[in-house]
Structure 1
Amino acid sequence: MVRSLLKLYLLVMLAAAAAVVAINYTFIPLFHEQFTESERVNRQGYAFVLSEYLAQHPGELRKGALEKLQAHALERFKLADAAELSRLDARQRQDIADGKLVLSYDAKDYYLPLRDGQVLHAHSVDVDNTNVDVVAYALIAFATLLSIVAWVWYHWRDLDKLQQAARDFGRGKLSTRADLPRRSNISELAMQFNEMAEQIEASIVHQREMMHGISHELKTPIARLEFGIALLQSAGAGEEEQARQAQRLEDLRRDVRELDELVTELLTLGQLEQGAAPMMLMRVSVGELIDSVAASVANEVADHKLTLSVLASGPLPHHVCDPRQVARALLNLCRNATRYARSAIQLRAETDAAGTLCLTVEDDGPGVVPEERARIFEPFHRPDSSRNRHTGGFGLGLAIVRRIALLHGGQVGLDSGSAGGARFVITLPAMDEPAVAVSAQAA
């Protein structure tokens, strides 16, 4: 704080000194006419007395009169000659001819026309008031210092609080926030710090939950693999034992596929959250997009003895998006619906005049209780009714859906359907068509 205070104080004092010098050397030349007129008014009586006094001493007597006058005045008086008057500018010479007092551009000399045509030149001598100037400037400097100290201290107090908050946050106290009053001049900076801290805290908490969920999800298939390998190692040589060994090998393969699916889902979610998944925006047909999704889940729907209805409507048949990612999101929602639907699933796509695309996947299953809806899109979160992995999946599908919607500038929501089941709605705003696609279409 002391170093910053000294720098600011020196900067202010240098600026003030430069301003004083600039005023002393520039103001009088800049406002010479105004200063001259002011001097004429202020010196009217003085000029009258001088003129009357010198008028009483004409000719040779005037030299003695000037010497006597000099003995009782601070100015240096003399009669100006033609050469000296010629150094004045035309405006000043005209004023002298008109009988007006003329002030020099440095305000040190003035010229007073006398009645007999001569011009009195008076040169002002500065009085030595150094001690007074020192005291005056010292008071100004001290008052400036007090003002700067008060201003810096007011800000430094709040900056110190913000610095302490940043220090505590860096030491791991993620709940630390900068508590500054709204009247503080750095309140907006503190608000930005608090918003940053909240985002970082949420990100770290999310990562911790992810790590916990990953560890939990990996334990089960790994344990089954270890158990299956142990059984294979202790298997006998009979035909019945060989059949059991083949079944165990198939179980091991299934567990490996499950691990591979889990790792794939984790990699996909990680790429989407980090923005590493490339966005391939293009103009796609909405109807063709949902038809392809319906074809992909047709076998699963048939296996569960469900019916899938598909509907596309709206004034705009096309939408700009990444069809691969949007199809992935719809597939996740449809597969999620097949786990809980009783008899039917609805897949709808609607567009409006503004270009917004609304994708809806609805089932007639038990639905999701309102208490669970706020967390349903969190990684590894499963509602209480679907804790089992074989019915509830890995708990990553809906998290991927939300991330895909966010990457497109949209959102995904969950509410109750008309049949009481879950209704997931993805809303994607209109996006500009890529220049490459536009040029290709034009070609």
Structure 2
Amino acid sequence: MLRSLIKLYLLVVLGAGLSVALINHAFPLLFRERLTEEARESFRAFTFILNDYVQRHPGAQRETALAELRRQAGTRFELLTLEDLAPRLNPDQLNDLRAGKLVLLSMYTSDYILPLPDGLVARSKFDMLDSGIQALAYVVVALAMLFSVLFWVHYHWRDLRKLHEASQAFGAGRLSTRVQLSRRSNIYDLSRQFNEMAGQIEASIQQQRDLMHGISHELKTPLARLEFGLALLDSPQASERERERQLALCKDVRELDELVTELLTLSRLEQGAGQAVLTWVTVAELIDSVVADVAHDIAERALHLSLHVNGAPEQHVCDARLVARALLNLLRNSMRYAHRTIFLRAEANAAGALILSVEDDGPGIAPEARARVFEPFYRQDASRDRHTGGFGLGLSIVRRVALVHGGDVVLDDARTGGARFIITLPASVVAHTMKIS
């Protein structure tokens, strides 16, 4: 904003400077006759006195009188002949001078020439203001323009800041954000367009959320019936081939049920912080419960889980269920790619935020794919098989959990060469004011 103000002020000063330059050069040419007539009227008494003074000192006395006149007038008064001035004057000025009229040379200084008896011409020139006063006058004009610009920009700046804050809030996920400006505001039409756009986007996203939630919820019932029906088909008389088919169908139904559960979880998290139940949680107990849930799977894959919680705070305000879900998703993601070891760390930063990180010694994630790994249903090319790559919703849920708590999750390189996911949960929780886009 300050840069815009400086640009506007410099533009105004430049425009004013060009206007002054145009006036200085153009106006004397455009209004020369009018200005000359006004000068003749103003100097009528002075012209009469000067001519009378010269005429009262004829002959040898004139040189002494003119010398005294020069001495009293100083360097800004000189006596010349018409022949000396003729090359400097245009034809109109020369004709006026020969007719005995005062000729004005400049409109901003008293620079004029006056014909005297005996072919003499007096030229007088003195500035209306000295250079110091002129500089002060320009400073006053510049300050007046600055205050005028500041007065106008103050209201414009205030409204632009409101629009800027509203767009930031909307981009952060608070989709109900609107800009309230006076109808007299310079950007009222822009704010109205922003509000209309925000309303349409909010309605579209809400419809998508409602659709996803409704479909996912409705799928639960037929899936439960399918699973129950497959269980009833199991009988001792079934052949081995039929049993294998039944097991395969049951596995598919369970996977579909798991997908629907993930979609419901993601849909609930997208509704915002109202889905989080914030309580004081003992960090060590939360980590232990998560480790216990994955201990069997880690042992089955012959992996080692390295746990570091020495720098963690004793307690932290969060939703234990959601945070545990995020950690489980990260650990299961690491189990798919880790070679030997997975590292789980919990610590606090200088601001008191809880930092949870999960890293592995696997192949890592390509830099060009890191911006998309948190998108729903996104899977890397090497893991598109659902048996190894999951459904592509786990990391999306992790990100939503972090955002619901007012934090964030980032992906970085692990010291062991794999991927490192870092969840930041702020100490000052503002989740009750947030909505996730």
Q: TM-score, normalised by structure 2?
A: 0.49
Higher relative CO (CA 8 A, sep ≥ 6), structure 1 or 2?
2
Q: TM-score, normalised by structure 1?
A: 0.48
The structure whose Rg is larger is: 1
